[in-house]
Amino acid sequence: MKKLINDPQNVVAESVEGFGWAHADVVAVHLDPTYVSRAGGAVAGKVGLVSGGGSGHEPLHAGFVGLGMLDAAVPGAVFTSPTPDQIAPALLAASGGAGVLAIVKNYTGDVLNFETAVELAEADDIEVATVVVNDDVAVQDSLYTAGRRGVAGTVAVEKIAGAAAERGDNLAAVVAIAERVIANVRTMGVALSACIVPHAGVPSFELTEDEVEIGIGIHGEPGRRRVPMESADNITEHLLTPVADDLALVSGENVLLFVNGMGGTPASELYVVYRQARKLLEARGVNVTRSLVGNYVTSLEMQGVSVTVLRLDSELTALWDAPVRTAALHW
Amino acid sequence: MKKLINDPQNVVAESVEGFGWAHADVVAVHLDPTYVSRAGGAVAGKVGLVSGGGSGHEPLHAGFVGLGMLDAAVPGAVFTSPTPDQIAPALLAASGGAGVLAIVKNYTGDVLNFETAVELAEADDIEVATVVVNDDVAVQDSLYTAGRRGVAGTVAVEKIAGAAAERGDNLAAVVAIAERVIANVRTMGVALSACIVPHAGVPSFELTEDEVEIGIGIHGEPGRRRVPMESADNITEHLLTPVADDLALVSGENVLLFVNGMGGTPASELYVVYRQARKLLEARGVNVTRSLVGNYVTSLEMQGVSVTVLRLDSELTALWDAPVRTAALHW
């Protein structure tokens, strides 16, 4: 294992500390317990947004803390849910008196630990609502989940619900917007290689030089099937088709097309995938009116990509376009 | 070789086409010959900025086309200089009547092909000045260079000279600003793994599981030395110390600290390196007043990192902070 780390036990703390120093204009970092909050603290009268999960998916979630998106993020150990003792102070730090929305990716550990943390926060008289993101069409139940997994679509939920909170929506309205995104966003991914969790030191699974895993999860969980390596255009079709079918997209609809790198894939390849995904959507008469391409929900250094499609209406489009000032998304 | 590509000969064209579709609000893509220009065309009365070089370093350079940075970018084949026939029309497309600055990384092929293209453009009565970026302290002469190589510091040159052009500086003034950045920016990198050029199909060099290459170039050219794998903190010291020494940094100075991922390194590791580089600078009494962390000048999927330091004064700081609206840098 060759990694730019020191003691594997300290990767998350050292990385988050460096992140805080690099982005001190946007975030404040807390190390005991570990969470990241907005520089300047909670915004009075605004619904607070909190997300979190295992580390190793950077920039998710700490990279999305800032104006127009999250108020706090909670990084667990690598590929390990954050503890309730970490999440609860983040919920408090995000509270501006108008309630807090917890955005949870659908993994059993995350869901349980957020539930416990919400109870702790509610004992402090903070109203907390929770939404669970489950955009991965690859599998119904999986190694770590009941129901579908929450993956790259989480970025859209955080961006759009964050914009709704920023414009002054109350908690119920922000929840409704988040649920509308969740109902209309779907993702599917592929892995060309595995990744190595620092404290494990060995790859989480093995792929031969000739095969890829279609439907991979963001922790390297098994997907739908292993298939021989094919052209980028064919692989993209294996990802885009189930996503578009599950959304039941019809001609004339508008969508956000989000091609997400898993960490070890060159940017040039992401745009080759984007090009084909867009051609396939246009062949269905679907209009790609917004785009996002880059490493946003990663699996350490895994080589691979996921394709996310979000059905847009005019309100979701306006909320997507609203200003955002975070370390990883900025416009 | 597992890559998300189709025919290796078409990677650049397909990737650039996808890039153009994804960022049509910012750029216009031309495929015959291949170059990328600002959406909306040249800005009348503004000095135009053009850069280019081999592909495989994305988002450099096309990702930096837009308000406040470049007016055009010219991607060659992977790790291969663009041809004069590609560069000349980009120089024309960037011309708003106030002259054009060509920003060239110091590689022999790039320097020669830009020289020829400049002669072609000047035959069309466009005034073109050229600056050559040579920030890599690792080696004096190398496989592809006479003198030092141009690497990640190019981002700072393009950002700051771009801001000077945007505020209305004339060509001589923009050249002077670019030269001031070049005189004050230094970089050194390390590779943990090689990368595979698509049309080659095999790694460009080999490193054992226990060694890293200190002073690597962005095409995998040999660096200063191969050393056994060490902690991130030690490796960072091997990079930062020669950079800071070459700049002759003294206590009380302000700098931009830029930690650049080579393509296959997780974001979390970049922040571990950033943290240590910042500690080392602060131990010298140097103030890190601006920061950039991410994949900006890559070598396909290479695992590795480079550390860049730019000595700042108040004018360079203000130009760094000026608005920028490109696919890869946006504030």
User: CATH classification of A185-312, choosing from 3.30.1180.20, 3.30.465.10, 3.30.460.10, 3.20.20.150?
Assistant: 3.30.1180.20
Reported as a pLDDT band with limits 50, 70 and 90, residue B233 is very high
| Residue in B312, B277, B274 with CA at minimum distance from that of residue B292 | B274
pLDDT in tens, B253-309: 999 999 999 999 999 999 999 999 999 999 999 999 999 999 999 999 999 999 999
pLDDT of residue A96: 97
Place of tokens 């998916």: A57
- Residue A269 contacts residue B301 (beta carbons within 8 Å): no
pLDDT of residue B252: 98
pLDDT of residue B1: 80
Q: Is A7 helix (H, G, I), strand (E, B) or coil?
A: coil
Contacts within 8 Å (CB) and 24+ apart, B27-35: B27/B62, B27/B65, B27/B66, B27/B327, B30/B89, B30/B93, B33/B83, B33/B85, B33/B86, B33/B89, B34/B74, B34/B75, B34/B82, B34/B86, B35/B72, B35/B73, B35/B74, B35/B75, B35/B82, B35/B86, B35/B87, B35/B89, B35/B90, B35/B93
Q: What is the mean pLDDT of chain B?
A: 96
| Residue in A233, A250, A253, A254 with CA at minimum distance from that of residue A307 | A233
Reported as a pLDDT band with limits 50, 70 and 90, residue B143 is low
Strand A48-55 and strand A66-67: pairing? unpaired
- Which amino acid appears at position A134 of this protein? N
pLDDT of residue A224: 83
A219 given a catalytic annotation? yes
Say yes or no: B6 contacts chain A, CB-CB below 8 A.
yes
Query: What residues of chain B lie within 8 A of the CB of A14, using their CB?
Result: 271-272, 275
Q: Do A267 and B59 touch (CB under 8 A)?
A: yes
- Give strand pairing partners of B47: none
Nearest-angstrom CA–CA distance, A185 and A256: 9
Q: Do B2 and A212 touch (CB under 8 A)?
A: yes
Query: What residues of chain A lie within 8 A of the CB of B59, using their CB?
Result: 267
- Give strand pairing partners of A305: A190, A261
Q: Do A266 and B331 touch (CB under 8 A)?
A: no
Q: Do A5 and B231 touch (CB under 8 A)?
A: yes
Quickly list DSSP for B205-263.
S---TTEEEET--TT----SEEEE---HHHHHHHHHHHHHHHHT--TT-EEEEEEEE-B
Q: Domain B8-183+322-326 belongs to what topology?
A: Rossmann fold (3.40.50)
Reported as a pLDDT band with limits 50, 70 and 90, residue B321 is very high
Place of tokens 């489009």: A317
Nearest-angstrom CA–CA distance, B241 and B247: 10
The model's pTM: 0.97
Say yes or no: A246 contacts chain B, CB-CB below 8 A.
no
Q: Nearest-CA distance from B262 to chain A in Å?
A: 9
- Which amino acid appears at position B135 of this protein? D
Instruction: Kindly state the DSSP code that residue A145 receives in the 8-state scheme.
Output: B
Strands (E), chain A: 27-31, 34-38, 48-55, 66-67, 72-78, 100-105, 128-133, 185-191, 211-214, 225-228, 254-261, 287-294, 304-312, 325-326
Query: What does the domain layout of chain B look like in residue ranges?
Result: 8-183+322-326, 185-312
**Fold equal for A8-183+322-326 and A185-312:** no
ipTM above 0.90, yes or no: yes
Percent of chain B surpassing pLDDT 90: 90
A61 given a catalytic annotation? no
> Which of A213-217, B75-79, B201-205 shows the lowest per-residue confidence on average (mean pLDDT)?
B201-205
Which residues 223-242 of A are in CB contact (within 8 Å) with B? 229, 231-233, 235
Reported as a pLDDT band with limits 50, 70 and 90, residue B218 is confident
Q: Do B269 and A295 touch (CB under 8 A)?
A: no
> Average pLDDT in the B60-76 region?
98
The residue from A23, A57, A61, A238 that is catalytic is: A57
pLDDT of residue A151: 96
Q: Do A63 and B267 touch (CB under 8 A)?
A: yes
Query: What residues of chain B lie within 8 A of the CB of A331, using their CB?
Result: 330
Query: What residues of chain B lie within 8 A of the CB of A6, using their CB?
Result: 231-233, 272
Nearest-angstrom CA–CA distance, B247 and B292: 19
Reported as a pLDDT band with limits 50, 70 and 90, residue B141 is confident
Answer yes or no: is pLDDT of B144 > 90: no
Say yes or no: B290 contacts chain A, CB-CB below 8 A.
no
Nearest to B300 among A266, A274, A288 (CB): A266
Reported as a pLDDT band with limits 50, 70 and 90, residue B219 is confident
Query: What are the average pLDDT values for consecutive 10-residue runs of chain A, which has 331 residues?
Result: 94 98 98 97 97 98 98 97 98 98 96 97 95 93 80 98 98 98 98 91 86 89 88 98 97 98 97 98 98 98 97 98 98 96
Nearest to A264 among B6, B264, B271 (CB): B264
